[in-house]
Structure formats: C-alpha cells, structure tokens
Structure 1
C-alpha cells in the first residue's frame, strides 16, 4: 500500500531564484517571469498542491535547543505526528518522545488533528531538522482554551522582568496562561476573562516599545474587569 510522504525537502531560496519551470502556479511571495515561477523574498521553497511559493525567513521563529514551544498537530503518521510550531521547517514528534506507550499505527488515539501541545525543542541540526519532545516536566496536551499568536520577538515583554507581566495577567484575569517561545500563547479561563487576557496579550505586542507598558495593561484590564470595585464592596 502506498503511503503519503508528509516530509518535504526544504530548500532555502533568495529573490529571483527559480522555484519551478514546469507550469505550477505562483503561491505566496512568488511571481512568474519568462514562464518560470521565481522567489520574491528570501525564505524556504514551499509546495502546496499545484502552487509553489516561499515561506519568508525574515521574522520567522527559528527554533533553538531547549526552547519551550506551543504547537498544533497538522498531520499524523503511524509512528509520529507533524507539529506546526511556526517555524519554516517541520517538527516531527516521534512516539518515543511522548509520555504514553503508543503502538505502531495507533497515534491518532492519543493526539488528533488540531490538538494543541506544549513541547520542548530537543535539537536542531545543520540541515534544520527539528526534534521535539513531550517527555519533560510540565509538557502536555493543552485541553480547551484558546490560542493567540504574537511575534516571537515580543515574548519577553509578555513574560516581563522576572515574570512580572505574565503574573499580573494571570492574577487579574484569573486565567491559566502559557507562553511558548515561538510566540504562541495559550489562554484558558472564564470566557469573558479569557477574552480580556487575549486582548491584553495582543496589546502588549502592539505597545511593546512603550516604557509604561505595565501600567497601560493594568489599566486596560481594570477597565474591562473592574475587580477592585468588587473588592472594595466586600470590605
């Protein structure tokens, strides 16, 4: 039986490089010149169905060993899952790197398409092959909640100095919040509170350069969730 191969050879291209000359349609960041599809930006050649394009490298999350990331299951094989962690390269999660004993071909019983997982990057080799694991303290499948995507370069602002910003967000919204170093943020809590927390995270990304960011975020949450008024009424 023929099985679909989910792995692609990832090729770095620069503007002007030929992506295809056999009649495929141009995808993202690609154009046609002299009957050939060419790259318009530096990035990774990407083929999808009958189109060929480029995944830009600039601004992309480039994983490093030890990073804790949040990913989404996008494909399932008999002995691994393919996880989207926002990198330009695939991140296979092998059955040997999960906390369950998974029989060959039984992978879909444990993690399905669209499931959200908290992972750690084990290694990234010279060919950009990524190894990830769920076999470490705190790593797990993230049930329920919602995902917010921000630039990975703004993650440090969401966390704050010594975790000050993320602690404030959790305490004021009463939500569970997990921040991946790839810019994926998982938020779980009461629907209204989680909505405010999500908006606050996006506000942090937008206003990351502001010196009084903590005060702005605190004021925003207080206006949306006036907890202080309730507390004063209880006294």
Structure 2
C-alpha cells in the first residue's frame, strides 16, 4: 500500500502521491492505480487512508513578520487557533495576546477572545515541523481585536497591487476620504473610515483594484473614481 509523500510535503505537478489504497482528493489526477498531483500543492494526510493535495497557487504562504488578519476558529488550553486563510494552521499563544501576565488557572480565555472574533496580528514564527506551523503575536501597539469597520477578502497575490508602490494606492483613501486601509498579507483588507458610509465605496474600490490589477494607469483611474465619488457624495449631504 505505497504512499509516496509525507504530511506537509510540498508537491509539484506530476509528482506521484499514492495508489488507490488511499482516498486521495484535491489537486490530483489518476493514471491507472496511481494518483499524481496536477498542482503545486501541500499534502495533508488525515488518519491512515485519507490524503488531500491542497493547491497553493494563489494561496497565502506565511512569512515571519507578515501582518495578517485572522478569525479565531477554536479555543485551546493555552491559546487560540486562528484562520489566516492559509493551508498552514496558525496559533496565538496566550502569552502573545497581551502585555499583561495571565494566570490560566483563573482566566477564561473566552473572555479575552471568542470564536469568530477578528484579529490583526503579526507572524512571530513559522515552523513546518509543528502541529501549528504558524505562531502569531498581538504584542504591538496597532495589533489586536478588530471591533468595527469593514473587511474585504482578495486574492493574496493581488496584495502588492492593492497597497501600491510605497503605499500609493491605499494612500488615496487616506488622503481623500479619511479612511484607514490595512492590508493583511494573507489577502484580507480592513477598512475603517471617519464616515462609515464611505466604507462600502472603498470596499468596492478594493475589489475593483483586484480585478483590474493587470492594467496600466490603475492608480490614476482609482484616484479619478474616488474624486467623482467624493464630489457626488458630499454634494448630496
């Protein structure tokens, strides 16, 4: 019953995965009794027989120091599991969630962060040999729970275009609409405007930038659209 890969292994198109003795799913194709990967992917072995190849094309691959936006998905004994829109699991240890020391015998972690809460975090460590390869921290002034604003999801590969050269693209929303636009490297964008009515417009513009990222002159087009919106929306108030 051959299995030709190991858990968390990165595979390339054409790599041999396993025989039909295994339940192989994801980005694979069969040739006779053998399953091959047709994507650049991550192997996820579940139990004794289930193997999945998770495509990595367009997926977020963590790097130490990255700013990410995540959802708390589970609460453990010493911290929180956080969904960072990546094939790799992330964990926020309680000692990285606050500057204050916490006695785990007296504190209910749900009182600090609950399932479904959204956090702006930084990647502290990344080690594929652990059950949770990604370790997060909130121990910086701007990091922590996100309690208001609007969240937009984009393809992580489009993040540099949304930010712009030296922050030129997101700077338009700051200068013209007094909006803060925080772009997580994992493809989640947090928008918070002085006027909450502007957040829906900025969210649409972020999706517009994502869709038009391959075109030239995009920064000027966005600036023009923002100016038009600003003129129209302010005139109606």
Q: TM-score range with shorter-chain normalisation?
A: 0.7 to 0.9
Seen in structure 2, the aligned counterparts of structure 1 residues 39 and 106 have a Cα distance that, compared at 3 Å, is: farther
Corresponding residue pairs, total: 223
- Residue 20 (structure 1) shift: 7.5
Aligned residue number for residue 123 of structure 1: 125
Aligned residue number for residue 169 of structure 1: 173
Aligned residue number for residue 52 of structure 2: 53
Aligned residue number for residue 222 of structure 1: 227
Higher deviation after alignment, 194-203 or 204-213: 204-213
Q: How large is the Cα RMSD of the aligned pairs?
A: 3.1
Query: Conserved in 1, the CA contact under 8 Å of 2:10 and 2:40?
Result: yes
Seen in structure 2, the aligned counterparts of structure 1 residues 229 and 88 have a Cα distance that, compared at 3 Å, is: closer
Query: Conserved in 2, the CA contact under 8 Å of 1:173 and 1:194?
Result: no
Q: Kindly report which structure 2 residues correspond to 1:30-109, keeping only aligned pairs within 5 A, or say none.
A: 30-31=28-29, 39-46=37-44, 52-99=51-98, 100=100, 101=102, 103=104, 106-109=108-111
Q: 2-side partners of 1:154 and 1:171: how far apart?
A: 22
User: Unaligned stretches of 5+ in structure 1?
Assistant: 1-8
Q: Secondary structure of 1:226's partner? A: helix
Q: Output one character per residue of 1:110-148: Cα deviation in whole Å (capped at 9) or x when no partner.
A: 112221111111122364722221112211111122321
- Residue 179 (structure 1) shift: 1.1
Q: Secondary structure of 2:26's partner? A: coil
Q: 1-side partners of 2:18 and 2:79: how far apart?
A: 29
- Residue 47 (structure 1) shift: 6.0
Q: So what's the TM-score if we normalise by structure 1?
A: 0.78
Q: Output one character per residue of 1:179-224: Cα deviation in whole Å (capped at 9) or x when no partner.
A: 1122210113455411110111111122223332122112222333
Q: Secondary structure of 2:63's partner? A: coil
Seen in structure 2, the aligned counterparts of structure 1 residues 110 and 35 have a Cα distance that, compared at 3 Å, is: farther
User: Unaligned stretches of 5+ in structure 2?
Assistant: 1-6
Query: Conserved in 2, the CA contact under 8 Å of 1:159 and 1:165?
Result: yes
- Residue 175 (structure 1) shift: 2.9
Confirm or deny that 1:148 pairs with 2:152.
yes
Higher deviation after alignment, 167-176 or 48-57: 48-57
Query: Conserved in 2, the CA contact under 8 Å of 1:86 and 1:182?
Result: yes
Q: Output one character per residue of 1:6-40: Cα deviation in whole Å (capped at 9) or x when no partner.
A: xxx5343444533685564x543245665676544
